[in-house]
């Protein structure tokens, strides 16, 4: 997929994190030097262009290693064993692949994944991914804001919610052969959450194609919510007037909610949410409300009781 964006490589050929970070620092330094050598007025103009629009993202510390990101995964469609997901997921074929946007839209669309990615300006976002189980990762995603795609379909005034549907393929996704969940996996957002600039569709990690175990060829990333909201292997995006049923809420409403905003003050029967451990580290740290993105998203929930697990 997206051969012009992320040429396929073997895992052994993935750029080492230290080299990747050094390259980013070099590019940043080179750009700054070039700007300083220009005239004052041009410098000011260029710097303003670089800063606009600005996404104020919290700092989450060091990036999680590529090996950990791709070898520790929740993906029940394959197996409940996080360390074996990559083994089973390698059989998943992501070519050809289409995404359909329908429902309460003026212009229903179906895109081939290569065509879609070729139309978008792919950018990098470094987000913290917080699992409801109490672990987290800091991941450099590549992709584009979901809002860009939704705007192309022109949502109607009745579009209040967005439902996401993942791939159904029990022949390859062997976990789907067991009725442990209501397949295919579905998730949902309110329309204002879906249109928020932080809500992201990711097609890459560390500048390379996203791998099957991480949600290839394209997945949702909503950084202020627990990880199960960030559905993998998207096939359909449906805009709705009413709140959709979602897979985990349907299966276990005591431990999962529709909103599922990261909240250290609201634990579930299975998990205490006050602290978390970042994969690759040992010491636990305090969990932040909205996973640290409160400055950007708290206004979306100003009328909600945050002592409840929605």
What would the pLDDT profile of 103-121 be if each residue is shown by its tens digit?
999 999 999 999 999 999 9
| Closest alpha carbon to 210 in 106, 307, 113, 120 | 113
Q: What is the pLDDT of residue 310?
A: 65
Question: What is the set of domains in the chain, with CATH numbers?
Answer: 61-297 (3.90.420.10)
Decide if pLDDT at 31 tops 50. Answer: no
Q: How far is it, in rounded angstroms, from Cα 142 to Cα 283?
A: 28
How large is the C-alpha radius of gyration of the chain? 20
Do residues 154 and 105 touch, judged by C-beta distance below 8 A?
yes
Structure-token pair, residue 226: 């627990």
- 26-51 mean pLDDT: 38
| Closest alpha carbon to 56 in 300, 298, 295, 302 | 295
- Which has more confidence, 8 or 213? 213
DSSP three-state, residue 230: coil
Q: How far is it, in rounded angstroms, from Cα 2 to Cα 118?
A: 7
Place of tokens 């529709």: 258
| Closest alpha carbon to 165 in 116, 234, 246 | 234
What's the pTM? 0.85
Q: How far is it, in rounded angstroms, from Cα 198 to Cα 121?
A: 15
Q: How far is it, in rounded angstroms, from Cα 233 to Cα 220?
A: 9
Q: How many CA atoms lie within 13 A of 134 on its CB side?
A: 17
């Amino acid at each position: 997929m997206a051969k012009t964006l992320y040429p396929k490589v073997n895992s052994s050929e993935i750029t080492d994190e230290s080299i990747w970070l050094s390259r980013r620092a070099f590019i940043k330094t080179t750009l700054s030097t070039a700007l300083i050598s220009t005239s004052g007025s041009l410098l000011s103009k260029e710097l303003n262009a670089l800063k606009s629009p600005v996404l104020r993202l919290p700092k989450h510390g060091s990036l999680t290693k590529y090996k950990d990101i791709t070898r520790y995964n929740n993906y029940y469609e394959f197996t409940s064993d996080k360390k074996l997901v990559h083994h089973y997921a390698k059989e998943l074929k992501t070519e050809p692949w289409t995404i359909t946007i329908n429902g309460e839209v003026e212009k229903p669309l179906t895109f081939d994944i290569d065509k879609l990615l070729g139309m978008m300006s792919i950018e990098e976002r470094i987000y913290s991914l917080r699992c409801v189980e109490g672990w987290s990762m800091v991941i450099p995603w590549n992709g584009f804001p979901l809002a860009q795609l939704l705007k192309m379909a022109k949502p109607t005034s009745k579009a209040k919610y967005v439902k996401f549907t993942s791939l159904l393929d029990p022949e390859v996704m062997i976990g789907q052969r067991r009725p442990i969940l209501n397949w295919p996996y579905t998730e949902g957002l309110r329309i204002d959450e879906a249109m928020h600039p932080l809500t992201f569709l990711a097609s890459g990690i560390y500048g390379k194609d996203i791998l099957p175990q991480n949600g290839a060829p394209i997945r949702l990333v909503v950084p202020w919510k627990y990880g199960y909201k960030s559905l993998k292997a998207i096939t359909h995006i449906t805009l709705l007037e009413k709140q959709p049923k979602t897979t985990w809420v349907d299966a276990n409403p005591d431990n999962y909610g529709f909103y599922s905003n990261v909240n250290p003050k609201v634990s579930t029967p299975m998990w205490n949410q006050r602290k978390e451990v970042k994969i690759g580290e040992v010491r636990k740290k305090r969990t932040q409300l909205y996973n640290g993105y409160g400055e950007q998203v708290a206004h979306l929930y100003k009328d909600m009781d945050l002592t409840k697990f929605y």
